[in-house]
Structure 1
Amino acid sequence: MDSANYKIFVINLDSRKDRLARITDNLNRLGVEFDRFQAVFMERDRNSPRILNAPLKFNSAKNRLFDFNPISPGALGCYYSHMLVWKKILDEKLDFAVILEDDADLGENFPDAVNLLGRLKNWDYIKIPPSHLALKVSKSAPVPLRHASSASPAAEFRLCAWRKVPFLTTVECVSFQGAKKLLSVGEFYRPIDFDLQFYWRFGVKIFGLLGENIVSVAQSKSDISTTADPGAKSNVFVKLYMKPYMYLANLAYRALWRNSLREIEIA
């Protein structure tokens, strides 16, 4: 790894020791060091200093206006957890962090992907999507490896610009400048993966890193979906105006930043 100052964080609920044991074994086999980050559990933490002093505040009124569904406690805890890791990037003055959710299943090429991040300059946010996702990519470019540390020396990676930013935050890579932008907006009112599809709200440019055997998702029941209200109904009126807005705004910002992939420098 080059001299980049970075950390890998695993977000994990205290109640999910099974997940922590699985991902610890996974990362140990890959020779990857990490810090566990105690995930926010809303039933316990709602009035704690972690939430009361969080850099972004939840706006329940805007949640009703700008989200398809009422946000669940699990989705709230997920957003706060990622947000507080973004804050650690600033507090610890890291060049970047790789943030893993504890259901990530890391493949043999994950260490090389992390090494590659240390060679990149001028980026905000890079999403490494799980292999099963259907991706909407507008353009991509191959990134050469200096050396391969994995069992697959012929690993190939591509940086991509998204036609539509994919859901899930299984592996998110956030730079120091990206964390500053993400934490500058003051509030949130949607689940994190949905909110990041409105990337222009933060002023961040979200790219992707694609490749074989980097990450997939372990098969287990979502902690977020289990806290959702089964009786909650989608807001049909929000969908009527939000979907056209998302489409047109995404189209406009893609055109505005159409050459942004070229801004990333590779050492």
Structure 2
Amino acid sequence: MRYQTLLLNTDRASSRLEQMRTQFNRAGVHYSRVEAVDHRHLSSDLIEQHVDWQRNRQDYFHDLRPAEVARYLSHRRAWQELLDSGVDYAIILEDDVVLSDGFNLLPKRIADINVPWNTIKLAEPYGRSRTKAHAPSGGATVVRYDVVPRGCCGYVVNREAATSLLQRTEQIYRPLDVDMQWWWEFGLNVVGLKPYPVKLSHRLGRDAHVADYIPRVKRERTYVKWRQCAKFWWLNRQRQTILTSSDVDN
């Protein structure tokens, strides 16, 4: 399958770009830079265009911050780049990650996957989710998650997933990584590939700008939060049961 590696990077983050360029060169990996949306320059008009505030206040427990909106719009650019390029899938990376020594083998690992997928998690930066070993893939293991982990610093999407995500996210009301946890709403079929080939660098204390990506304390709508948690628990369990049955049939 044809693929491309896409790096999301804002114009002001030149040091991050240089660090990533060094890692890609060391791994012998070709990449394309996608200009990420800078939340510092995000206009109120653009926010109003893309955020469904009524749905946000009804179904999410805090108002979206400009950084969360900018991040979502940046990933939408990457999905569109994938579709425009004509390749089969894209490896999408944010610019504050550390690549494993075997990152250059990732396309081979992906080619060896013999179960249905359209999205692959390459990192799990905010704590471990329970997984079930699903199938071997060369020197790696494909896993299914009880709950898809938060964090979008590194993942793979194919054309099917990118098309569905673009169609369903013209307006947003939750952060991107939370939306991906509600995978059934976006037509996603999510697996993980372990050992993970990507780590988020704030775990290694590397980047001075990681505060832009670390969740902060926000004013919460407590009732909405607990109502949505209960809804998520129920629907996720139901959908996982259906997905497991489908895996067995295949």
Quote the residue 1:251 is aligned against: 237
| Mapping for residues 136-155 of structure 1, pairs under 5 Å | 136-144=130-138
Distance 1:41 1:131 in 2: 22
Q: 1:175 to 1:201 in 2, by over 3 A?
A: same
CA distance in 2, matches of 1:100, 1:183: 18
The answer as to 2:172 corresponding to 1:188 is yes
Name the residue aligned to 1:15. Answer: 12
Alignment correspondent of 1:107: 100
Corresponding residue for 1:157? 140
Question: Once the 2 structures are TM-superposed, how far is the Cα of residue 166 of structure 1 from its aligned partner?
Answer: 0.4
Of the three residues 179, 182, 189, the one matched with 1:198 is 182
Matches of 2:211 and 2:13, distance apart in 1: 9
* 8 A contact 2:113–2:137 mirrored in 1: no
Q: TM-score scaled to structure 2, two decimals?
A: 0.87
Q: CA deviation at 1:211?
A: 1.2
Q: Could you say which structure has the greater relative contact order, defined with CA pairs below 8 angstroms and 6 or more residues apart? A: 1
Aligned twin of 2:43: 46
CA shift for structure 1 position 35:
0.6
Which of 33, 36, 52 is matched with 1:36 structurally?
33
Partner residue of 2:210?
222
Separation (CA, whole Å) in 2 of partners of 1:26 and 1:261:
36
> How far is 1:138 from its partner?
3.4
Structure 2 unaligned blocks of 5 or more: none
Q: Give the C-alpha shift of residue 167 in structure 1.
A: 0.8
TM-score (norm 1): 0.82
Secondary structure of 1:187's aligned partner: coil
Residue pair 1:74, 1:223 contacting (<8 A) in 2 also: no
Quickly say closer, same or farther: Cα 1:261–1:83, change in 2 above 3 A: farther
Of 192-201 and 177-186, the range deviating more from structure 2: 177-186
Quote the RMSD (CA, aligned, Å). 2.5
Structure 1 or 2: more helix by fraction = 2
Count of paired positions: 242
**Distance (whole Å) between structure 1 residues aligned to residue 101 and residue 247 of structure 2:** 26
Amino acid at match of 1:189: Y
Task: Tell me: CA distance 1:261–1:39, structure 2 relative to 1, closer, same or farther (3 Å).
Answer: farther
SS, match of residue 183 in structure 1: helix
SS in 1 for 2:192: strand
Residue 153 of structure 1 aligns with which residue?
A: none
Partner of 1:240: 226
Decide whether the 8 Å contact of 1:129 with 1:168 is kept in 2. Answer: yes
Q: 1:179 to 1:196 in 2, by over 3 A?
A: same
The partner residue of 2:119 within 118, 125, 128 is: 125
1:136 touches 1:163 (CA, 8 Å); kept in 2?
A: yes
- In the TM superposition, what whole-angstrom CA distance separates every residue of 1:71-119 from its partner, at most 9, and x where no partner exists? 1111111111111111111122220000001111001111112322244
- Alpha-carbon distance change, 46 to 21 in structure 1, aligned in 2, over 3 angstroms: same
Aligned partners of 1:80, 1:61: CA distance in 2, in Å? 19
State which drifts further: 133-142 or 94-103.
133-142
The answer as to 2:128 corresponding to 1:134 is yes
- Aligned-partner Cα distance in 2 for 1:243–1:160: 24
Cα separation, partners in 2 of 1:169 and 1:32, compared to 1, 3 Å: same
Give 1:88's aligned amino acid.
E
